[in-house]
Amino acid sequence: MKRRGRVKWTDVPRDEADPLSVALAQRDAGTLDMVRDAIAQRQVALAFQPVMQAAQPGRVAFYEGLIRVFDPGGRVIPARDFMPALEASESGREVDVLALGIGLQTLAEQPHIRLSVNMSARSIGYPRWQEALQRGLARDATVAERLILEITESSAMLVPELVTQFMGDLARRGISFALDDFGAGFTSFRYLRDFQFDLLKIDGQFIRGVAQNPDNQVLTRALCMIAEQLDMFTIAESVERAEDAEWLVANGIDCLQGYFYAAPTIHPPWLTAEAAARVSA
């Protein structure tokens, strides 16, 4: 009788060999479908997080508007569950359009604030994003000088020449630019000089626990020196502890952002104040 050889796990179809991977893939596909439906139905909002001035503790320099997408039950779908997969798709461009539209409307309604909105370099040539920008700028002449567009380091390096021209065109209209997550990618110093960002946001991996981490202290100081040389304001991301905030202020950081100061919220102070005024009236 011929003996059967042992079956290797690599010979088994993937859906039989790795049911966990199949379940995760199905879950991720379901999440993406849910996100696309939410985008189509505009079930989104901006959550606002303050960026604090280091020189004047307690004073807000500006707010960052972070996109939030809601499932059919009204719960927030974590961005980490869909943004990496959505980034290169048209749905990713539509997320940028919605975020920009809400941000520009907020700036028009709240003339006392400055606001940053995230975008991908891929959206520069997307007609609907450009249309949303032009509508917002035409609606209120003061919006441009209060708008900050944030582009991640990795996104900027996809098409650096296009980003440089885009920034130059909009800077002449008063719009500012922030390089987000700096240090997490591989920006060439030549491009960093050519981009001419106004603000440099140091990635949170260097900031968390910086008061007790000599390596991160050296790196953070180096990034601050680069920003100073290129005439950019520095922002420390992911500030979560008082001792880290104290170290950053003592070492020349310009602004700080993180849960130590406030979590992002869809109920920002100006809406809370308006609601209280209506109740008292």
Average of pLDDT values for 23-29? 57
**Of residues 24 and 114, which shows the higher confidence score?**
114
- Whole-prediction pTM value? 0.87
DSSP annotation string for 222-280? HHHHHHHHTT-EEEE----SHHHHHHHHHTT--EE-STTT---BSS-HHHHHHHHHHHH
Cβ atoms of residues 132 and 102 within 8 Å = no
In the structure encoding, which two tokens stand for residue 216, read together?
A: 């991160």
pLDDT at 279: 58
Taking the C-alpha atoms of residue 216 and residue 204, their distance in angstroms, rounded to an integer, is 10
Phi, psi of 53 (to 5 degrees): -75, 135
| Max CA distance (Å), the chain | 93
Cβ atoms of residues 187 and 157 within 8 Å = yes
Q: pLDDT of 165-220, one tens digit each?
A: 999 999 999 999 999 988 876 666 777 888 889 999 999 999 999 999 999 999 99
What is the pairing mode between strands 60-70 and 76-77? antiparallel
Reply yes or no on whether the pLDDT at 4 is more than 50.
no
First to last CA, the chain: 93
Average of pLDDT values for 263-275? 86
| CATH number, domain 43-280, options 3.30.450.20, 3.40.50.1220, 3.20.20.450, 3.30.300.20 | 3.20.20.450
Reply yes or no on whether the pLDDT at 223 is more than 80.
yes
DSSP annotation string for 26-44? HHHHHHHHHHHHHHHTT-E
Q: pLDDT of 90-116, one tens digit each?
A: 999 999 999 999 999 999 999 999 999
Is residue 89 classed as helix, strand or coil in its secondary structure?
coil
Please give the sequence-ordered ranges of beta strands (E in DSSP) within the chain, or none if there are none. Answer: 44-53, 60-70, 76-77, 115-119, 147-152, 176-182, 199-202, 233-236, 255-256
Q: pLDDT of 184-193, one tens digit each?
A: 766 667 778 8
pLDDT at 127: 97
Cβ atoms of residues 46 and 99 within 8 Å = yes
Map 255-268 to HEC letters.
EECCCCCCCCECCC
Task: Give the other-Cβ count within 10 Å of 226's Cβ.
Answer: 17
Q: pLDDT of 229-246, one tens digit each?
A: 999 999 999 999 999 999
Indicate the domain borders of the chain: 43-280
